[in-house]
Structure formats: C-alpha cells, structure tokens
Amino acid sequence: MSFQDVLEEVVADISAYRGQGKVAAYIPTLARADTSKLGVAAVLGDGKSHAVGDTDEAFSIQSVAYVFTLALALQHHKSALWNHVGREPAGSPVNSIIQLEMEKGRPRNPLTAAGSLVVCDQLIGRRSADEALEELLQFIRTCAGDDNIAVDETLAMSESKAGALNRSLAYFIAAFGNLQNPVEQVLSFYYRQCSIAMTCRQLARAALFLAFDGTDPVTGAQVTIPSRSRRINALMLTAGHYDNSGDFAFRVGLPGKSSVSGAIIAIAPGHGAVCTWSPGLNAAGTSLAGAMALERLVERTGWSIFV
Amino acid sequence: MSFQDVLEEVVADISAYRGQGKVAAYIPTLARADTSKLGVAAVLGDGKSHAVGDTDEAFSIQSVAYVFTLALALQHHKSALWNHVGREPAGSPVNSIIQLEMEKGRPRNPLTAAGSLVVCDQLIGRRSADEALEELLQFIRTCAGDDNIAVDETLAMSESKAGALNRSLAYFIAAFGNLQNPVEQVLSFYYRQCSIAMTCRQLARAALFLAFDGTDPVTGAQVTIPSRSRRINALMLTAGHYDNSGDFAFRVGLPGKSSVSGAIIAIAPGHGAVCTWSPGLNAAGTSLAGAMALERLVERTGWSIFV
Amino acid sequence: MSFQDVLEEVVADISAYRGQGKVAAYIPTLARADTSKLGVAAVLGDGKSHAVGDTDEAFSIQSVAYVFTLALALQHHKSALWNHVGREPAGSPVNSIIQLEMEKGRPRNPLTAAGSLVVCDQLIGRRSADEALEELLQFIRTCAGDDNIAVDETLAMSESKAGALNRSLAYFIAAFGNLQNPVEQVLSFYYRQCSIAMTCRQLARAALFLAFDGTDPVTGAQVTIPSRSRRINALMLTAGHYDNSGDFAFRVGLPGKSSVSGAIIAIAPGHGAVCTWSPGLNAAGTSLAGAMALERLVERTGWSIFV
Amino acid sequence: MSFQDVLEEVVADISAYRGQGKVAAYIPTLARADTSKLGVAAVLGDGKSHAVGDTDEAFSIQSVAYVFTLALALQHHKSALWNHVGREPAGSPVNSIIQLEMEKGRPRNPLTAAGSLVVCDQLIGRRSADEALEELLQFIRTCAGDDNIAVDETLAMSESKAGALNRSLAYFIAAFGNLQNPVEQVLSFYYRQCSIAMTCRQLARAALFLAFDGTDPVTGAQVTIPSRSRRINALMLTAGHYDNSGDFAFRVGLPGKSSVSGAIIAIAPGHGAVCTWSPGLNAAGTSLAGAMALERLVERTGWSIFV
C-alpha cells in the first residue's frame, strides 16, 4: 500500500471525529472556524509531500510557532536560554499562572504561553521586535522552502486586543525581572508569531528537519545541530500539548506540538514530519480529529518512538 | 570498539560525579548508603549482559518497582485502570499532595507515589496483599530470569514505619473513594514492592522486554502486548523521574525510571535495557552519576529516541 | 421588651430558614440529623439563661470543641503553642491540605481541623490521650457548671472510622515532624473531643467566660487570663467559620465558632454568650438558620463588636 | 494620666523597635524612606487630636486608601459590590495571584490589591477615572476636615511604571471579565488613590467616623450608615494587614489597615481613631514599630474589641 493510500485510510478511519470538539472561543477569527475542516499532510525524507483533505488552506499557526521561535532562540543563546525558562512539563492547564508564582516568574518550559513569552523576549534581545520577527519569518520560510509565508497582521492585532490573560502572564514574568524588553514589545512579537499563516503542507515541510536530526534531508542544510534537534523533540514529547501532553505521548508516541487553531505537527524521526489541521478541540485544547488521525497513522506505520 | 569498552569509557568519563549528590535521608538503610558506589549494566537484544562497577550488589528497587507493578496491573485491568489514575506529568515535586487535592484524589500518573498506591490497590483487587505480591514477585523473577529475587522484609517494615507522608497520601486518596482495599493493606503491598532487592544486572535484564515491544528477545515470550509496552515507555519518558522528567528526556532521550535508592532503568528501543545505580541523588531525587552515565552512553551509542 | 421576648422574635423572624441547608453527610449520625431542629440559647452576665426552641437536646459539639481545647492547651503551653500552629485565617475550604503543604506542616490556625490536631497533640503532651481527655472534659464541665457532660463514644468510634481525610491531615503533619504523639493517639483524642455531647444551653453557659475577659461572671472564677480570652475571641473572629469566617464577621460581627453538627457559639463581650443549633448547613459548613438568627439578634441588641 | 501622657509612654515603650524592619523596596520613593521616623496620632470622640513624633509629615497612604475607596464604592453600589469581590480573608501573601486563579478572577476581599482594583473599577463606573478620583479626594478631604489633601502625581506615575505585578493582577481580573473599564484606566485610578499624601494626624481624623458607627462625632454628619461602618470594620479586622491580619487581631484587637508606606490606621469603636507611621516593615508588610505601638496602646487603654 502506498503511503498516500495509508493517509487516505487514516482520514477515512477517523471521519466520525470530524466536526467534533469545540473551537477556541476567545478570538473571533478562531471562534468562526469551520470544525468540519480536516487536513493531513506528511513530508517524508525524500522531500515528497502527501496530503489528504484541507491541506492547502492557511490558518494561523498559533502555538506551533513556539517550536520555530525556540529553535531560533537556541541558535542565538545556546544553553544560556535555560537560565530564563525550565524544561519540565507544566502539570497544569494552559496559561495557569499558579506555577509561575510558585516558581518565581521562571516558566516551566518554552512550549507554554508563559515560556514562549520568555523565549520571544530572548530572541528579540537588543533588537527591535520587528527585526527579530523578520528573522523568524525568514527562518520559517527557509525551512518550508516557501517565501510567501507571512503574518496575518489583522489577526495579530485582534489577538493582542483580546489577550488579557497573556498580557497578565507577561507582566507577571516582568515583575520577577525575567523580561529584558518592554512587555508590549514582547507581546507584539508574541502575537505576530502566533498569527503566521500557513497550510498543513507548509508546516509539515517546515518541521521536516526535526525528523532528520536537525538537517533538512532535501536541501542538505543543517538547520540546527543534532543535539539541539533531539532536545526540541524531547520538549515537544513531554510538553507539546498543554495538559494532555502525557496522553498524546501515550496514544500517539511521537514528539509534536498542538495549537488552539487546531493544528498539530508531529515528528517521526527518520521518517518524516506530519501536520494535521482540524479546528475542533478537545477539553485540553488539542485538535480532536487531528490527534485521532495521528494515533491511527502511527498504528499503521509503526512510527512510534517507543518501539 | 566493543560495547563493553563503551560502557567502561562511559564510567571513566563520569568518574568526577561519583560520590556527588545526597542520599535519601528519610529511611535509615538508604541514609547509610555509600555514595561512591556506581554500577552500570546493560542487557542487549542478544541477551548478553555487559557490566561495569558495582553491578552485582543488591539494593532496594524503590520506585523502579512502579513500572513492573504497572505492567502487571495493566494486564489485569487493561484500560479500565485509567479510571483511577491519569497519565499526565505531575509538574511538581515528588509526593506533592496539592495536585491530588485539585484533582480530587485521582493521581496524575502511575509513576508517582500517589499513582503507584492506586495501581497497587488495583493490582491487589479482591485478593490479599500477600497473594498479589507473590504474583508481582513471580512476574519480576520471570522477566529477570532469576528465581532468587525477594523482598527485603526488614526494610519494608522500617519504611512503613517512617512512611507518614505516603500514609497521608493513601488516606487522602481513600477519602476521595479511590482505594478499594483498606489503606494499611495497600501500604503493606506498596512498601514491599519498593523493598524488592535486586542488582543492576538483574534490573536491566528484567526491563529488557520494554526495549523489544513487549517481547523478551531471549525467551521469545510476550511479556506484554506491543501497544502496552509502548505506552509504558511513553509514561516513563514523560513522568519517570519526579520533577526532573523533562530534564532527563532532554538530556538522555530515553524512557526511564529513577528511584531514591539511586537506581535508574533506561530503555533503548530495539537495542536493550540499561540499569545504573549510584546512591547520590540530585535535588529532584534522581541519581546524579547515574543520569550522567546514561547521558554519555546515549551520546556514544546514538540511542536517543528523538533521532 | 424582655431579652426572652427578643430571642423569641429572632426565632420567629428567621423561621423561613429552618430546614434549609444540608446536613454533613460523611458521618451517619450527622447525616440523619433533623434539619427542622432549631435552638437558640443565651446566657447573660447575671448567669440567667434564656432559651427558645430545641435548646435541651444534646448534639455532638464537633469543632466547637476546638475552642475549649485551645483554651486549655494555652494554659499548659502559653505562647510556646504558637511554635506549632499559626494564627492567620486559612483562606481556603475546610480541611484543605494545600496550604499545609505550602507551609510545611504548620497549620495556619488552631480552629481548622489541621490546627486542632496540633493543639490536641500539644494538650496530650507526655500524658495518655485518655488522661488529657479527662482534663478537657473536667474543664468543660466546670465551665458549663454541669458534671454530666460526656463523650458519645459510639459516635467517636464511627467518626474515626469515616475519618480518612483527617487521618491524612494528621499523617501529613506528622511527616513534617509537627506531632509528638503517635498519630492514632492524637486522632483518638481529636475524635472524642468532637463527640462530646452537649445542649445549646450547656454550650452557651460553658462559653460565658469568653464574654467577660476570661472570668466566669457567675462563679467569679478566672477561667483564663484576660489577654488570652481576648486572643481566643480574636481567633474566632478571623477563623471560626471555615471559609466563611469573613462573611460571619461581616454579617454578625461577633467572635464565634461553627461546627458541622450545626452548632454555633457566639461571644458578645460584656453581655453574654449565645449558642444556636440547627443542622442545615450552608455551602461553607456553617449552620444556615443559626447564622441568620445570630445576625438578627445582633441587629436587635446592638451587640456588634464593631461599633 | 492624660491621654497625651499615655501616647508618650507608648512611644517611649517601643523605642527599641524604631528603625527596625525593612522599607518597601520596589518604589524608589518608598525605598528611600527613613526608618527612624515614627509618628502616633489619635483623634478621640471629642474631636481633639493627640500626637507624638512625626505626625505632621506627609507620606503616601498607599493601601490605607482602600478603606476610603471601599466606603465610597459601597455608597454607590451597596451590596451589589459583592458580586465582584468577596469578603473572606485571603490566607496568602499580598498580591498572590494563585487564589485569583482558583476563584476565577473574583478577589477574596476588597482590602487586597486585587480586591481594591475591582473596587476602583466599580467606583469609576461609567465616569472617567479623573472624575471618580476627584470624588474620592473630596470624600477624604471632608472626612479629614482638610481641603489641602492631594495626590502626589509624580509618585503615582513612578509607581505605575514600577507596577508590573499589579498590572498583571489587573489584566488577570480583566481576563475573567471582572473589570468594566479599560485596565489602564483602572490602574491610573488605583495608583493615584495610593499616592494620596497625608499625615498621621490627617489620617486619624479622616477615619474617625468608623469609630462612631459611621457618623463623624465632631460635625455630626453621617458619613456612612451604621451597618456599613460596622462591616468595613469587620473587613479590616479579618483582612486589613496582608498575611498577618490574624496576628494583628490577636495582638492588637482593633480593626485596622496597614500600608507598605508604613502607615496603620486603627479603629477603637466608641473611643477614637489612631494612625501610626513608621516605614520599617515586618516580613508581612506591616509597620513593625507601628503595630507594636498599637499593641501597647490597647494594653494601656483596654480598647480591645474582644472584651
């Protein structure tokens, strides 16, 4: 059976879950998303992409962006980044401020909103937020092999307006001295990274280097060094899906990152990268149909990293 | 270079960490442990065991036992077990009762003390604690291929006496109706599983099935079904090392389980199982020299599951 | 209008609240309590008692006992008692273990279950629990001027059996080294103090000394020194009613202590002591009709300490 | 002995505590405060003021302002205010955001920073912050009988700049929909109320109505209705001093409110109002010498509300 056939069977298998779950309600654009949408795209080591469903429709990548921002910030700061953010799973719902207080403004890991705010601040460094964002966009465009990727600035603005909780998190971190740039600068960068518009196909391609120890198997370019690639995967495995990261590891068995727009990227080391998109979310904020599709895909391919 | 040579180099590399860290102070036997001890044993797919250092000295396996008790309880109860315990990382220090209150007596995962108490209770079921313990011992003996493995009953007794915190956890869970057996029965089983005495070599051998999708590669016996083996590995990866599980995944990149006696088992899928033992612990309760040895071993062998 | 008339009007005023609220369900005896029962008794400075309703029916005094145990423990240990327990309001529901963890086994105040366990332990000291209980009973009998007051031992036994949560609290405190006697000893004392059977009339009489700066206005005996009497009143005001202590101070404006059996004692400094009893509880565990009766009584008498 | 003599003896008694404690470090103006300063002023029912020490030096009243803002907001909104803020003691350090998360953005009481933010928002209502502030200032001027009381606008600005933690609290509350005005508007009002500059003598005079059931005993004007005056006193008693409110009630036995600038107001119902000022704070944020002076004053006058 061809890989394309496998993808198609996977999508057929989980059709009952299409339209299930709830969209994220706090941002008007996301609140209007069509939960019947479903796309599954995979890019394998040979660079070929396979796609089923709504894989060429763009959506805001939201917290999937954290992964790329983290990869880039690690290139700049190397292990010094860990002075500002931990690498332990959070053990609490998305955006909880409780642990942030207990741990005195040092977020537990870079794949939570609080943690990503700190990573954004570090990536900005002494530059303007605009300059840093341009670097991030260029990085993602290179990874995806597509120069058309851009920020949906209207969305970024509307998210920033609705973003009282993240603003609270940012000021809380600042109160503990863990932001070097003005809070509004950091938030501006943060919301624009979340508002980068991409398709499933683009995202799977952009994440491909993480399946090949940091090197793009198509271009041969080393995007990041091997040890860093492994570590980003480890962080996604333990903390990539809010408070159902453990469940995702248990059921799917691949490093991955969920976003509230309904996207999930998953990394199958040595095989390829997959991106699913379906806006209906489970109670913990992960795409319901997307996670189900990935679970089936791994069952059929044997790609679990735990065997 | 032979695998034995690799192990020896690893132990030489990390010799500076020998004697570092602190022993667990709350149990007299553990408090007296010699921090200069260090053993590293690996059993590969061909069944051969390789060992360097103090690998034939027995120690109480403590929370490494949780893994075997879990494997056995899953055979009995299958996915019904998850009605009683979650599978998310805890995001808090070992033995914290805070989350237990927030989540109304359902521990976040089976690899914390609270979670293992619930798993023990489920494994006991309607039998006596003694009967269930006999089954567990027999299970571990079979996995290890060694009929001499036994409980250090004196230690179990002394741990039970010192165990006010676990007793508190158990009564707390009982208060929420999540224990079916009397608390003291469950604690009796719990402390005896922790007091099973084994060597590094025995533990590595006993865990080997988890590196081969549930099947013992030497005897060919299916110890557990593949999906369950993967899931136990996933749980170890996200929650096997108290509040430094994320760090262990980040640095070592293998599923594993630490114990306060200074043991760590690590699973290299497709390759083999490793057990290190060194009683000096880091601040989070994981063997300092042991984790360092595993980090180096994975660097040299490329066994990380994230590549 | 005579004081007796005032009491009768108060009871008439709040008749709509009779039968409202829920009984405490976790102890069979309490679960069967008749929520239509209502008694209001007051003893004034001249020693005369005034009573309306079910004021001669005995009930277990439950956490109202904490006040007497505290008074007696302070006689023994004076300010050294505060090494073991704080005097801040808890800011959380009854029996929460979260703060106990945050504050490392030192309960926030002596009028919570956790705090009273510590006070009980201190009162026992190096004696047997039986001996200490005999002293407490004698103390209460003297305060109430009634030698017939006794423990309902059957109830104490049944509460101890049902008491997984308090048992958990006690072991938790013990784990932090804040109990000097064996946990089961402390619990035995604790449950028997809670199971002392008294009537409204007896309780109001027993608490009278707190309205007269520590001296029984009838016998002239100094039960406790003035500063201690004031401090016990202060503790009742800030922490006497679980997580509605602030609301009780706001609405009633007198020091008091609620219990899950539906009793409330209230102290009107310079005037007298009041005890209400009605088993229907509000969401926070305070007698609904009882608190309402006290609110009206203070409105009519002007006894608020805040004017 | 005249009351003036009593005050002088009290100040002499506690001279050893002068200069003890630490100033609040997070605001430059406060950080530079002279810890040797000490003032004690009392205004009695006859309107006479008695003063010892630095009682005519102005300082920012900081959270003492919460009391006046609350009194005014209650006049506007009456009991509807309690839909937005609770009246239970917090049981946690000042500015903790943990409980705010647990209780979904409804602060536990109006005398915490979070609670006062909500009260400020309610007092602003549909007006501009400036208009509401003008009303508050006029209210305080009337209470104090002094038209010169004003906001230190430079301080307000510098506090707002330094105020990341309060900004975080405000956005957090806004995220739960519990602010009706824009966060920056509310903060602007909040910081200006805190920056009102007053002397000990002015503050004692301004608070006098709370000692006489809501009526100014000098002018005869009813500042607030009796029941509201009692309730404000009850709130100060249970929650007026951060996480040492219980201790203050225990030691001093009067309703009061502390501020980080080192001021404390205390209400002696039926007698008068007292204000102490000394910038050295104890670990919980209450003026060390000030609390000590109040404790001695109550011992000498017998003003405790608990007798």
The tens-digit pLDDT sequence of chain B (307 residues) is: 899 999 999 999 999 999 999 998 877 888 899 999 999 999 999 999 999 999 999 999 999 999 999 999 999 999 999 999 999 998 776 567 777 887 889 999 999 999 999 999 999 999 999 999 999 999 999 999 999 999 999 999 999 988 999 999 999 999 999 999 999 999 999 999 999 999 999 999 999 999 999 999 999 999 999 999 999 999 999 999 999 999 999 999 999 999 999 999 999 999 999 999 999 999 999 999 999 999 999 999 999 999 9
Which residues of chain D neighbour C235 with C-beta distances below 8 Å?
246, 249-250
Exposed (0-12), middle (13-18) or buried (19+): which is D298, by Cβ within 10 Å?
buried
DSSP string, B148-160: T-EE-HHHHHHHH
Nearest CA of chain A to the CA of B202: how many Å? 22
Picking from A44-58, A160-174, C93-107, D37-51, which range would have the lowest pLDDT averaged per residue?
Answer: C93-107
Mean pLDDT value across residues A68-79? 98
In 3D, which of A97, A194, A242, A27 has the Cα closest to residue D168?
A97
Q: Which of D91, D234, D245 sits opposite C250 (nearest CB)?
A: D234
Flag if B306 and A237 touch (Cβ within 8 Å): yes
Which residues of chain D neighbour C99 with C-beta distances below 8 Å?
91
Nearest CA of chain A to the CA of D99: how many Å? 8
Which residues of chain C neighbour D95 with C-beta distances below 8 Å?
none
Which residues of chain C neighbour D307 with C-beta distances below 8 Å?
213, 226, 229-230, 233, 269-270
B294 touches chain C (CB under 8 A): no
Which helix (H) or strand (E) covers residue B180, if one does? none
Which residues of chain A neighbour B237 with C-beta distances below 8 Å?
237-238, 249, 306
Q: Which two tokens stand for residue C21?
A: 């609220």
Flag if A98 and D101 touch (Cβ within 8 Å): yes
- pLDDT for residue A278: 98
- pLDDT for residue B63: 97
Q: Which of C101, C160, C185 to mutate to test the interface with B (most CBs of B within 10 A)?
A: C101
A99 touches chain D (CB under 8 A): no
Which residues of chain D neighbour A93 with C-beta distances below 8 Å?
none
Residue in chain A lying closest to B295 (CA):
A227
A271 touches chain B (CB under 8 A): no
The pLDDT-based confidence of A241 (bands split at 50, 70, 90) is very high
- Contact between A257 and A66 under an 8 Å Cβ cutoff? The reply is yes
CA C100 from chain centre, in angstroms, equals 21
3-state per-residue secondary structure call for C26-87: CCHHHHCCCCCCCEEEEEECCCCEEEEECCCCCEECHHHHHHHHHHHHHHHHHHHHHHCCCC
Q: Which of B101, B159, B160, B168 to mutate to test the interface with C (most CBs of C within 10 A)?
A: B168
- Contact between C244 and C282 under an 8 Å Cβ cutoff? The reply is yes
Flag if B171 and C165 touch (Cβ within 8 Å): yes
Flag if B171 and C174 touch (Cβ within 8 Å): no
Q: Which of C98, C102, C165 sits opposite B175 (nearest CB)?
A: C165
- Distance between CA atoms of residues B266 and A187, nearest Å: 40
C77 touches chain D (CB under 8 A): no
Q: Which of D89, D250, D253 sits opposite C91 (nearest CB)?
A: D89
Q: Which domains does chain B have, with CATH numbers?
A: 3-58+197-301 (3.40.710.10), 63-194 (3.40.710.10)
Residue in chain A lying closest to D99 (CA):
A98
C13 touches chain D (CB under 8 A): no
CA atoms in the 13 A half-sphere facing the CB of C272: 23
Q: Which of C99, C229, C249 sits opposite D234 (nearest CB)?
A: C249
- Distance between CA atoms of residues B59 and B29, nearest Å: 10
Return the number of CB contacts < 8 Å for A and D: 47
E strands in chain C: 39-44, 49-53, 59-60, 150-151, 196-198, 256-258, 263-268, 272-277
Nearest CA of chain A to the CA of B262: how many Å? 21
Query: Does position C78 have pLDDT exceeding 80, yes or no?
Result: yes
- Contact between C241 and C253 under an 8 Å Cβ cutoff? The reply is no
What contacts A81, CB < 8 A, 6 or more positions away? A73, A74, A110, A119, A122
What contacts C138, CB < 8 A, 6 or more positions away? none
B1 touches chain A (CB under 8 A): no
Flag if D89 and C226 touch (Cβ within 8 Å): no
Flag if D99 and C91 touch (Cβ within 8 Å): yes
Indicate the DSSP class of residue C117.
H
Residue in chain B lying closest to A89 (CA):
B91
Q: Which of B88, B109, B247 sits opposite A244 (nearest CB)?
A: B88
Return the number of CB contacts < 8 Å for C and D: 120
Residues 184-243 (A) with a CB less than 8 A from some CB of D: none
CA end-to-end distance (rounded Å), chain A? 22
D60 beta partners: D197
- Distance between CA atoms of residues A189 and A177, nearest Å: 19
Torsion angle, CA of C16/C21/C27/C31, rounded to 10 degrees?
A: 50
Q: What is the mean pLDDT of chain A?
A: 95
Residues 102-121 (C) with a CB less than 8 A from some CB of B: 102
- Distance between CA atoms of residues A200 and D306, nearest Å: 69
User: Which chains does D contact via 3+ CB–CB distances below 8 A?
Assistant: A, C
pTM: 0.95
Which residues of chain D neighbour C226 with C-beta distances below 8 Å?
307
- pLDDT for residue C91: 73
- Distance between CA atoms of residues A109 and A104, nearest Å: 14
- pLDDT for residue C76: 98
- Distance between CA atoms of residues A147 and A205, nearest Å: 13
Q: Rg of chain B's alpha carbons, rounded to an integer?
A: 18
- Distance between CA atoms of residues C69 and C120, nearest Å: 7
- Distance between CA atoms of residues B68 and B61, nearest Å: 11
Query: Does position A191 have pLDDT exceeding 60, yes or no?
Result: yes
Query: Does position A125 have pLDDT exceeding 80, yes or no?
Result: yes
Mean pLDDT value across residues A36-59? 97
- pLDDT for residue A93: 63
- pLDDT for residue D165: 92
How many beta carbons lie within 10 A of that of residue B274, not counting itself?
A: 33
D244 touches chain C (CB under 8 A): yes
- pLDDT for residue A104: 87
- pLDDT for residue A64: 98
The tens-digit pLDDT sequence of chain D (307 residues) is: 899 999 999 999 999 999 999 998 877 888 899 999 999 999 999 999 999 999 999 999 999 999 999 999 999 999 999 999 999 998 776 567 777 887 889 999 999 999 999 999 999 999 999 999 999 999 999 999 999 999 999 999 999 988 999 999 999 999 999 999 999 999 999 999 999 999 999 999 999 999 999 999 999 999 999 999 999 999 999 999 999 999 999 999 999 999 999 999 999 999 999 999 999 999 999 999 999 999 999 999 999 999 9
- Contact between A93 and A222 under an 8 Å Cβ cutoff? The reply is no
- Contact between C84 and B84 under an 8 Å Cβ cutoff? The reply is no
